[in-house]
Amino acid sequence: MHTDVVAMHISNGIIGIPVSAIAGVFAAVALAFCVARARADLDDRLAPMAGLVAAFLFAVQMLNFPILPGVSGHLLGGALAAILVGPWVGGLCVALVLTVQALLFADGGLTALGLNVVNMGIVGAFVAYGIVVLLLRVLPKNASGLVTAAWITSVVSVVAASQAFVLEYALGGTTDLSLVGIAGTMAGFHLLIGVGEAFITAITVGTVAKVRPDLVYVLRGRRQPLLLVTAATERAA
Amino acid sequence: MSAGRTRLAVFLVGGLLVSLVLAGVVSNLASGSPDGLDSATLDGCTTNSDGEITGGNCPAREAGDHELADSPFADYGIKGIDNEFVATGLSGVAGVLITFAIGGGLFWLVRRRPTGTTRSGTDKTEG
């Protein structure tokens, strides 16, 4: 008997082959697009940083935390990746982790890899990026603003990813069960998982922003105005 | 090596060390319960102590085995090592290093070179 968590992602056979294949093609096209756009972002600094983000995601995804009696959750990572390295590189980071897990750790079926990449890599990272950019515009431009944005972004992106699974199940589920029931269960569990994800993302992003703000993608272009403001304030003082 | 590069290297090594400790040690404290997705897709089915479905109706009723269920790192263990603490930790360490190597390598290959030096070095991208 094993007590370890052995599978964390969609297994084979839950979603039928046609929808899984369509998701695979969609994932491949989306990732190719990500690679094309990521090249503009990836410089000598971001490239190794992105490798580190992928490795960190792999590590933290192993850390299942309890959310309810008998139910656990783990980081999906879309929000963390999008905030630290941007949506294009971030989506690639999550996809890489899922691929390593599926090929080497027997986690997430090979036929379901496209589904998992779409949900956690594409939906997770891009929903997160859209929200965090909006939030950073309205929230105070300081550490607590960033941490708050990371928090909200994590919860929303995790629930969004869970509903992407519900959509896939609606389109190609191999069983015929109440969609409303599954949508509700998935949303409820992932709201709680999102809170856990929010803690991890906020701590990680907050730490990197403190140590190396220049390595936080969503803060790019912000240092300049901040410096100007500081200089102007000093002159005024 | 410039000061900026040294600082980046320090940050990267620090981040990798944190990742290795999380995957190599802290992973053993992780909850053994099925995650939210598994729990939701098993909702309605009964399972035995190995987590195999024994009856009922749930989204995962038709779920199949993993194609590579016999691979050396399957299920975040290591084939041949029965000690769970050691097996989980070592597979976690291996996963972090493999992910960093592949990720860092691929991102480095496709990265943007400073203009003017793009053509002078080796090939732009390989594979």
pLDDT in tens, chain A (237 residues): 344 456 789 999 999 999 999 999 999 999 999 999 999 999 999 999 999 999 999 999 999 999 999 999 999 999 999 999 999 999 999 999 999 999 999 999 999 999 999 999 999 999 999 999 999 999 999 999 999 999 999 999 999 999 999 999 999 999 999 999 999 999 999 999 999 999 999 999 999 999 999 999 999 987 544 444 455 555 554
Return the bridge partners of A65, or none. Answer: A73
Angle between helix A179-211 and helix A143-172 axes, rounded to 10 deg: 150
Retrieve residue B35's tokens.
């995650």
What residues have CB less than 8 Å from B35, skipping those under 6 apart? A5, A8, A64, A71, A72, A73, A74, A193
Nearest residue to A161 via CA among A91, A217, A218, A219: A91
Q: How far is B80 from chain A (nearest CA, A)?
A: 15
Scanning every residue of chain B, which has its alpha carbon at the shortest distance from the alpha carbon of A65? Answer: B31
Between B66, B76, B108, which is nearest A47 by CB?
B108
- The span from the CA of A197 to the CA of B36, in Å, is 13
- Nearest chain B residue to A107 by CA: give it: B75
Residue spans of beta strands (DSSP E) within chain A: 65-68, 71-73
Identify which of B38, B22, B36 has the alpha carbon closest to the alpha carbon of residue A194: B36
Closest partner residue to B26 (CB to CB) among A5, A63, A211 is A63
How does residue B1 score in pLDDT terms, banded at 50, 70 and 90? low
Judge whether residue B43 has pLDDT over 70: yes
Spatial distance between the Cα atoms of A142 and A146, rounded to a whole number of angstroms: 6
Cβ-based contacts of A56 with chain B (< 8 Å): 15, 18-19, 22
pLDDT value for A184 = 97
Q: What's this model's pTM, rounded to 2 decimal places?
A: 0.91
User: Domains along chain A?
Assistant: 17-220 (1.10.1760.20)
Is the minimum CB–CB distance between A100 and chain B shorter than 8 Å?
A: yes
Q: Would you state the pLDDT for residue A234? A: 52
> Could you write out the three-class secondary structure of chain B?
CCHHHHHHHHHHHHHHHHHHHHHHCHHHHCCCCCEHHHHHHHCCEEECCCCCEEEECCCCCCCCCCCCCCCCCHHHCCCCCCCHHHHHHHHHHHHHHHHHHHHHHHHHHHCCCCCCCCCCCCCCCCC
Instruction: Determine the Cα–Cα distance for residues A187 and B36; give it in Å rounded to an integer.
Output: 9
The shortest C-alpha distance from B120 to chain A (Å) reads 17
* pLDDT tens digits, one per residue of B15-26: 999 999 999 999
- Residues across chain B: 127
- Asked if A5 contacts B31 with a C-beta cutoff of 8 angstroms, the reply is yes
Whether the CB of A46 is below 8 Å from some CB of chain B: the reply is yes
Confidence band, pLDDT 50/70/90 cuts, at residue B50:
confident
Cα–chain center distance at A44: 23
Q: Nearest CA of chain A to the CA of B126: how many Å?
A: 14
B106, A4: Cβ pair inside 8 Å? no
> For residues A79 and A132, is the Cβ–Cβ distance under 8 A?
yes
Burial bucket for residue A148 (CB in 10 Å: 0-12, 13-18, 19+): middle
